[in-house]
Amino acid sequence: MRSFFAKYKFFGLVLLGLSIVIMYLFYNALKPKKLLPILQPVNFNPELVDSTLLHVKKYHTIADFSLINQNGKTITNADYQDKIYIADFFFTTCPTICPIMTDNMGLIQKEIINDDDVMLLSHSVTPQIDSVAQLKKYALEKGVVDSKWNLVTGDKKEIYDLARKSYMAVKTDGDGGPYDMIHTENFILVDKQRRIRGTYDGTNPEEIKKLLEDLKILKASYIK
């Protein structure tokens, strides 16, 4: 009897190994893909949401836009068509959170530099101060790669409406003063359908790691 088991021991071990591999493959095939939520205005702090959107529970998307980047080029939603992108709001003369946010956006730029599916978009909240020349100077100082990252200026009302009604990224509508927009430190992850899939504290290194992890999850969701 011992000789019988000894004879087929190797065969049994191979069969066991194959069984484990097959079970693992079946488990991964049947395991549902991890997906990010689609955020709607009702998911945000009401202070950040325009009153017209407070009860919107579905179908929210980023509105069309037309703004000017650091090279004087008109940038529209068409430039981000079929792209995942990360957006934020800043101003070049900000002495507090903006430099940290910009540095962290620069770290993200390094991670996505060879990824054609992902771009960055930073909106100036003081467009009357942040001219094209000022944005270009800032872009050069911060190592902005033009093909990946647009710093945009333009009509103040359009930027405010985008911040308040599309991205839920500001706490006030603004009263016309040069520094009246109380913008958040949020980075906003936007999918290829212009839907918000996550918000992250752009000054927090752990949140930046979480954003990059979520970016991988979002990218994987487009793989069929």
Q: Which helix (DSSP H) or strand (DSSP E) does residue 75 occupy?
A: strand 74-76
**Interatomic CA distance for residues 54 and 201, integer angstroms:** 22
Long-range contacts of 181-186 (CB under 8 A, 24+ apart): 181/89, 181/125, 181/126, 183/89, 183/90, 183/125, 184/48, 184/89, 185/97, 185/101, 186/88
Task: Locate all alpha helices (DSSP H) within 55-182, ordered by sequence.
Answer: 97-112, 132-142, 156-161
Which amino acids are annotated as binding site for Cu cation, given as ranges?
94, 98, 183
Which amino acids are annotated as binding site, given as ranges?
94, 98, 183
**Interatomic CA distance for residues 112 and 136, integer angstroms:** 21
Q: How far, CA to CA in Å, does 116 sit from each of 8, 50, 75, 162?
A: 53, 33, 17, 25
